């Protein structure tokens, strides 16, 4: 479970997140929707520690993080939270000099200290799971956008996170590739993967979400059934 309590974030005096209170339940798929600049991506980046916040608290499976200075206790909580959430970026973020297999193996080996043989086996399984068993030895430049995004999803899953955070996972893709990723996310949802997805794609929300959350001007304005929230947004 992930809970945000009175989460506030400012950039150069401008309030981007204004006292956000929201809970994300385990094995549920939540989609964050809203106009550009409403704070959706910033919220994700606060959850996994890529952005510090100014007020409030974040709790992930009992580990609580506040907006304190970077003391030892704070750093320890942040490290625990980062280990529990995986992040998938809009622009994939793959290492260009590594094959798909090596990209997925990298974090388990160098962050978790996993044996290379075990990491290779896990990476191979995950690439097969996302439909890329035949592309394990390809470099990012040899992959389509949809294939690169699938590698990025496999890479995030390799760390066995409690939740997966996805920032606009389909926005950089052409229509055919978007369908591929939506189908993959639907399969992950059936497996019980907890996901928080930032998106502008109504089709993605309708296909995979258990709940939609509408952000506007840095605040939660509506949450509930995807069809109802999308109607209020449109």
Backbone angles phi, psi at 196, to 5 degrees: -120, 120
Q: How do residues 174-218 score in pLDDT, each as one tens digit? A: 888 889 899 999 898 888 889 999 999 999 999 999 999 999 999
Residue 234, both tokens: 């449109």
71 in any annotated domain:
yes
108 in any annotated domain:
no
Please give the pLDDT value at position 71.
Answer: 53
152 in any annotated domain:
no
105 in any annotated domain:
no
Mean pLDDT of the residues in the chain: 92
The CATH number of residue 204's host domain is 3.40.50.300
Range of the domain at 80: 2-93+161-232
Sign of CA dihedral 83, 167, 21, 11: positive
The count of structural domains within the chain is 1
209 in any annotated domain:
yes
Q: How do residues 131-179 score in pLDDT, each as one tens digit? A: 999 999 999 999 999 999 999 999 999 999 999 999 999 988 888 888 9
Q: Averaged over 104-120, what is the pLDDT?
A: 95
Q: How many CB atoms lie within 10 A of CB 34?
A: 23
């Amino acid at each position: 479970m992930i809970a945000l309590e009175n989460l506030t974030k400012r950039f150069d005096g401008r309030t981007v997140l204004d006292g956000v209170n929201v809970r994300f339940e385990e094995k549920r798929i939540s989609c964050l929707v809203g106009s550009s600049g409403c704070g959706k991506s910033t919220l994700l980046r606060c959850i996994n520690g890529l952005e510090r916040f100014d007020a409030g608290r974040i709790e992930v499976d009992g580990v609580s993080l506040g907006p304190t200075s970077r003391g030892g206790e704070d750093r320890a909580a942040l490290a625990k939270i980062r280990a529990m959430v995986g992040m998938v970026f809009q622009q994939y973020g793959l290492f260009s000099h590594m094959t798909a297999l090596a990209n997925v193996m990298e974090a388990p080996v160098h962050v978790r200290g996993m044996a290379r043989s075990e990491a290779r086996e896990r990476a191979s399984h995950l690439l097969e799971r996302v439909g890329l068993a035949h592309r394990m030895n390809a470099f990012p430049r040899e992959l389509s956008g949809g294939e690169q995004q699938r590698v990025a999803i496999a890479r995030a899953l390799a760390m066995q996170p409690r939740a997966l955070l996805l920032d606009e996972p389909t926005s950089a893709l052409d229509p055919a590739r978007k369908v591929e990723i939506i189908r993959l996310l639907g399969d992950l949802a059936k497996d019980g993967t907890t996901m928080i997805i930032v998106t502008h794609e109504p089709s993605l929300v309708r296909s995979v979400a258990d709940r939609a959350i509408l952000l506007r001007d840095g605040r939660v304005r509506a949450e509930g059934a995807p069809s109802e929230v999308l109607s209020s947004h449109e």
